[in-house]
Amino acid sequence: MATAFPVGAEKYLVGECSAAEAVGDAVYISGTSNGRPAVRKVDRTNPAKMPARGVIVKKAGTVCIVQMAGVVGGGIYSGLTPNKSMFVAADGTLTETPPARPVTGQVYRQTVAFVISSTSILVQTEAPLILVGA
């Protein structure tokens, strides 16, 4: 069972992003780039692009601040339902809707955060589960 992080226990990573990543995206670490960890948007259908390690909370050019634990607010998210889990969505963002079992192939189901208010989440990544088609 996961342990909740108290407010103030935020953990950050300064990473190198590409143009494809945006604030709010779930990201994995793909190696290094320009002396920093290279972070890229996750893909729940590709094991090489999983698991999510955190979410981008700031981006300036190709430098991204990835929050790996703790409370994220600041207007990044809105319209959330408190006490719901946040999962990796098909497009690499976060969603309150868990992925369904695929008809064929496989998809990763990973809880990345928990909603604490309509505009705030608690980042607390869990190990992904593999959902395999029938």
Average pLDDT over residues 55-78: 95
Domain annotation covers residue 57: yes
Number of domains within the chain: 1
Average pLDDT over residues 55-69: 96
CATH of the domain at 113: 2.40.300
The rounded mean pLDDT for the chain is 92
Domain annotation covers residue 124: yes
Q: In terms of pLDDT, which residue wins out, 8 or 121?
A: 121
Domain annotation covers residue 79: yes
Quote the pLDDT of residue 8: 59
At residue 134 the predicted structure's pLDDT band, cuts being 50, 70 and 90, is confident
At residue 9 the predicted structure's pLDDT band, cuts being 50, 70 and 90, is low
Give the domain range for residue 89.
11-132
Find where tokens 């990201």 sit: 27
Domain annotation covers residue 16: yes
Domain annotation covers residue 63: yes
At residue 1 the predicted structure's pLDDT band, cuts being 50, 70 and 90, is very low
State CA 58 to chain mean position distance: 14
Domain annotation covers residue 5: no
Prior bond of 47 cis (ω within 30°): no
Residue-by-residue DSSP string for 23-66? TT-EEEEEEEETTEEEEEE--TT-GGG----EEEEEEETTEEEE
| Whole-angstrom distance, CA of residue 118 vs CA of residue 14 | 27
Task: Tell me which H or E stretch contains 69.
Answer: strand 63-72
Domain annotation covers residue 3: no
Domain annotation covers residue 6: no
pTM over cut 0.85: yes
